[in-house]
Amino acid sequence: WAYVRVYRSEQARTQALTRWLHQYNHHRSHSAIGGLPPITRVTNVPAQYT
């Protein structure tokens, strides 16, 4: 992903990575888990359990 385009700064590249990771983990469907995004498989999210 980082080599697809030229970034003006390291900060710009880091921001792009953050956005890409969110898209990849929260919105991308995954055929191995029935079309659900990978985040649906996370069961130990902080502040979810007491």
Residue pointed to by tokens 């055929």? 31
Mean pLDDT of the chain: 85
Q: Output 49 or 15, whichever has higher pLDDT.
A: 15
Question: Please, which pLDDT band fits residue 27 given cuts at 50, 70 and 90?
Answer: very high
Q: How would you class 29 by CB atoms within 10 Å of its CB: exposed for 0-12, middle for 13-18, buried for 19 or more?
A: exposed
pLDDT reported for residue 14: 93
- Interval 6-23: pLDDT, tens: 899 999 999 999 999 999
pLDDT reported for residue 31: 92
32: helix, coil or strand? Answer: helix
